Each structure stands twice: as structure tokens, then as C-alpha cells.
Amino acid sequence: MNKENNTTLENSLDTHKHKEQGVFAFLKSLVFIVAVAFCIRATIIEPFKIPSGSMIPTLQVGDFILVWKLSYGIRLPAVKKSIVEFSTPKRGDIVVFTRPDDPVTAENESDTHIVKRVIGLPGDTVEVRGTTAYINGKALDEPYAQWASGGIIEGNFGPSIVPADSVFLLGDNRDHSKDSRFWNDPFLPMKNILGRAFIIYWSWFSLGRIGNIIR
């Protein structure tokens, strides 16, 4: 009888041990998955929700986009300066960034991450008059731009030269965008750019927008 009891006890202990090992293995896998997901989000791809109508018609309120954080280089989490730089933003790129000064907190803007289009590059003379943006004295052809109110006077800007390592940004919905024209410092340091927006992965505005490449 004692032998049978000992065998039962041993089997019970083995089962308990196997369960503990299974739980430990699961927790290790979970920690690994979370760590990998964090690293991907921090350094490669990050989701972002469009909080305002400042990029209409290109991006609509309710669009969810993915930001490619390796567009211009590699940087460690919480470190603004790139440790490896591939390239610099190009005119027309739609980028997600943080402001170096206090962020805009109006209800139609994000108070942490902002999305706009790069218009002016280092050394460019930028100017906005009415419904036209000028680079080095030449009007830009901008089929993506929308001037819903016909070009507000408050939106006029420049001419002004973009300093080194900085860009000038505008929202596509020009008369309803708090962008470079309205900031205390109109030029954004490139180190504040988190990455380039490249695809809409979900949209409450229209399911037909899902999968659209952002241009």
C-alpha cells in the first residue's frame, strides 16, 4: 500500500513540476515577445492615429497609419540623435514628429506626436502667399494641398530661409492646419522626426482606405 501511495505522490509531484515548467516557459516566451514588440515599435514601425483634419484630403480623422522609423536612420529608444543615418527627409515626405517647444494643444492637434508634410529643406527660401507655396521664388505644384477657405491671411509666411538640419512643414489642409507658419520657431530640427508615414492600416473614415500607400 505504501508503495502505491509513494508512486501516486511521485506522479503528483511530477505533474506539478511539469505544470510549473510549462508556466515558466510560457512566461519566458511572453517576456520575449513583449521585448521584441517593444523593440520593433521603438526602432522600426510604430502605429499612429490621425487626431485632426490638418492633413485632409491625404489623411482623414480616424485613419490609423504605420510610421516607418528606419526611413532616415537608426536611433535608440528615447534618443533623438540617430546612431546611423541613411538619408534626410525629402520634399513631399509626410512625417510624424515631436515639437522641440511646447506642443500645440488645440483640440484639432495631437499634444504628443504630429503629422505634416515636408515642404522646405535646409537652405531653401520658403514663402506662402494666399493659396500658393513658393520654394526659392518658384511656385510649388501641390495636387495634394487643399485651401478650404481660399487662403487665410494668417497663413501667409516668409520669405524665410530654412536653417541647416531643419525642415519647414505644412498640413495638406492648409487653411485648417497649425503648422510651421504658426509656431514660435517655424523650422523643425530633423532630430525631432520620428519617421515617415507610409501606409494606412485601418480607417474608421472608409474601409476602402485600408492598405493605401501614403504619398
List pLDDT tens digits, range 64-107: 999 988 878 776 655 555 666 778 999 999 999 987 665 544 44
The arithmetic mean of pLDDT across residues 48-67, rounded, is: 92
- Does 90 participate in catalysis according to the annotation? no
Fold category of 47-209 in CATH: Umud Fragment, subunit A (2.10.109)
Catalytic site residue from 52, 71, 110, 116: 116
DSSP 159: E
Q: What is the CA radius of gyration of the chain?
A: 25
What global pTM score does this model have? 0.75
Measured CA to CA, the distance from residue 145 to residue 131 in angstroms comes to 9
Higher-pLDDT residue of 46 and 80 is 46
In the chain, alpha helices (H): 2-43
pLDDT digit string, tens, across residues 134-149: 999 999 999 999 999 9
Q: Can you give the residue ranges of every domain in the chain?
A: 1-43, 47-209
pLDDT digit string, tens, across residues 16-32: 555 555 555 545 554 54
Measured CA to CA, the distance from residue 205 to residue 159 in angstroms comes to 37
The arithmetic mean of pLDDT across residues 186-201, rounded, is: 92
Measured CA to CA, the distance from residue 186 to residue 183 in angstroms comes to 5
- Does 116 participate in catalysis according to the annotation? yes
Catalytic site residue from 52, 54, 110, 203: 54
Higher-pLDDT residue of 36 and 99 is 99
pLDDT of residue 110: 41
The residues, any chain, with a CB within 8 Å of residue 178's CB and separated by 6 or more, are 54, 104, 106, 108, 109, 171
Measured CA to CA, the distance from residue 69 to residue 42 in angstroms comes to 8
N- to C-terminal Cα separation, the chain: 78
